[in-house]
Structure 1
Amino acid sequence: MTETTAHPPTGEQYHLALDVDGHRITGIVTEVAGGLRALEYNGVALVETFEEHETPPSACGITLAPWPNRVDGGAWTLDGETQQLDITEVAKGNASHGLLRYTAYRPVSVEEHAVTQAATVFPQHGWPFRLDTTVRHELTADGLRVTHTVTNRGPGRAPFAIGSHPFFRVGDHDPATLRVTLDAATRYELNVRSIPVGTTSVAGTPFDLTSSPLLGELDIDACYRDVAADEHGVRRTRLEAPDGSSTTMWQDASFEYVQIFTPRNFPRRGVTGLAFAAEPMTAPANALASGESLRWLDEGETWSGTWGVAYAGPSAG
């Protein structure tokens, strides 16, 4: 990756590194959108990246706050009054990916292996609240831990949902040869504007990822719920390469939903191709309007949630 831009469109670039047990984990976090631009384990890329002089393609790596995905027509109701957010997805007429997509996060703490950044969501069109948010990217022995916090600075109660938009890979393996595993029972059906209109079982359909289908055979842009969790409430989405190496996105009990997106037009140094996004979310699309899993904070109350990335090397033999 070439680092030459004097003033990158994503602002300050925080280069992180961790050496542990003979392994080296590195990452790059951006000032704008508190985004994850790169993550590698011993030189094996675990996420899709983009050049320093570029903006994040398809929202690659950005933080989604105070809602993930879309709000139908940018409209929702608060105490009986319609709130109208600015339309940021003009083609479909929606408010998309929250209010911090182009916001510069300020550093709270910068360490060799971690960075904590903060950004405030101020009152604006369709959003009469003030929320203070932080995101901490911390390298770990097997990859990365990302912790989000949200604090309501009042007055009154305030709603929110949080998400992130990483694209994953397993080094230089052809994405089409990777197998995707997600144990989820239900997905949302969407209208032509990508707004949920109902839910349906994925069993026996092309959306069923329990049997680890090849990524090259998938054409998905869907939110999943009823995702199986372990005894700690952790849910996992795994990409596995033919040699047994894998990249796993895990999300704690706060993140009950995951959006799977398999575009064919993700740009890599001027060439477009297949990519895989697994987006941890605390609520589905249109949560501000539907109220589904929308969280409310009292004045002064703080919430936190965590997701992360874990790498496993090739299988022995």
Structure 2
Amino acid sequence: MIELECGAWSATVATHGGGLVALRQHGRDVVVPQDGDGSHPAYSGAVLAPWPNRLEDGVYTFEGVTYEVPINEPEAATALHGLVHDIAWTVAAATPESVRLTVEVPRSAGFPFTVRLDLDYVLSSGGLNVALTATNAGDVAAPYGCGFHPYLVLDDGDETPLWIPAESYLETTPVRHLPLRRKEVAGSPYDFGSTRPLGSTVLDYAYTDLRRDETGEVVVRVGGTEVRCGPGVLWLQAYTPEGRGSLAVEPCSSPANAFRSGHDLVVLQPGSRHVLTWTIRRP
């Protein structure tokens, strides 16, 4: 594991899986820490690539060819969160405040594409900045999507104020949690377009049609914590886990099942790149 420090901030990053193990300000947990050994309870801190969230039946068709990847969520018969959250990444560069990790997505019959990932974690006086760059190092186009899975500690439990600037969310099927249709947030129980306490709301939904501020970023506020998302973030998955002491706010390039639906699927041409950036800040 890699330890980073900058002023009041400290972070721990796992070389196994590349995930965020811990993030603290003045010694206080900002995200729920995980053990860093690759077990990722509830995928806490995990890196999600080359697809985020669920892939129905582990089967997809790309450019006329059908592929099948292993199912790792048997109760829903889905392939969950991609192929890199439980493999070793390489440390390409490191300073006391930053680390760059790199990995090639494992090639297989189900994903026979050459996609390299470069992941930068940088601590500053303002918080943690994260950038994931995917490069198609092969000679054929590749399907791609990505996301991250931090669980933000709730300052005041269910009374923690929440703000998610989104116009739409995806309704999902029961049990399998696969997308059904896009619905308006306004008037729904999942409308946090005006700041209000999380309350008893149960969330496991992907938000989209995100509103950006004058800097071009999407800013989600969970109590005193901000998640600021750059242009590569088109979706935000919000999830209330058991125990309700935290809220997963997941910056994603695409929703669940994008390999099948094509919704915001990134098609990486040979030599092309995709960049997703996000930041966690606190005053």
Shorter-chain TM range is: over 0.9
Q: Deviations over 1:190-239 (max 9, x none)?
A: 11211101111111111001122322322110000011101332101111
- Compute the TM-score of the two structures, normalised by the length of structure 1: 0.85
Q: Deviations over 1:134-157 (max 9, x none)?
A: 111100111100010111111211
**RMSD over aligned Cα atoms:** 1.5
Q: Is the 8 A contact 1:131 1:152 kept in 2?
A: yes
Counterparts of 1:306 and 1:53, CA distance in 2: 25
Matches within 5 A, 1:263-282: 263-265=241-243, 273-282=244-253
Is 1:216 paired with 2:204?
no
Matched with 1:259 is: 237
Q: Is the 8 A contact 1:152 1:301 kept in 2?
A: yes
Is 1:78 paired with 2:62?
yes
Matched with 2:4 is: 16
TM-fit CA distance, 1:60: 0.3
TM-fit CA distance, 1:253: 1.0
Matches within 5 A, 1:140-151: 140-151=124-135
Matched with 1:57 is: 41
Is 1:239 paired with 2:245?
no
Is 1:294 paired with 2:278?
no
Residue 122 of structure 1 aligns to a residue whose secondary structure is: coil
Please list every run of 5 or more consecutive structure 2 residues that lacks an aligned counterpart in the other structure: none
Residue 222 of structure 1 aligns to a residue whose secondary structure is: strand
Aligned pairs, how many?
Answer: 282
TM-fit CA distance, 1:52: 5.4
Is 1:120 paired with 2:104?
yes
Counterparts of 2:18 and 2:37, CA distance in 1: 17
Counterparts of 1:51 and 1:84, CA distance in 2: 31
Please list every run of 5 or more consecutive structure 1 residues that lacks an aligned counterpart in the other structure: 1-12, 241-245, 266-272, 313-317
Sequence identity percentage: 30
TM-fit CA distance, 1:130: 1.1
What amino acid maps onto 2:3 in structure 1? H
Q: Is the 8 A contact 2:34 2:45 kept in 1?
A: no
Counterparts of 1:263 and 1:218, CA distance in 2: 11
Q: Deviations over 1:148-201 (max 9, x none)?
A: 01111112111211100000125xx33222111111110001112111011111
Counterparts of 2:30 and 2:159, CA distance in 1: 15
Question: Following TM superposition, where does structure 1 have runs of at least 4 consecutive aligned residues deviating by more than 6 angstroms?
Answer: none
Residue 217 of structure 1 aligns to a residue whose secondary structure is: coil
Using a 3 Å threshold, how does the CA distance of structure 1 residues 187 and 111 change in structure 2: closer, same or farther? Answer: same
TM-fit CA distance, 1:57: 1.4
Counterparts of 1:277 and 1:165, CA distance in 2: 6
What amino acid maps onto 1:255 in structure 2? V
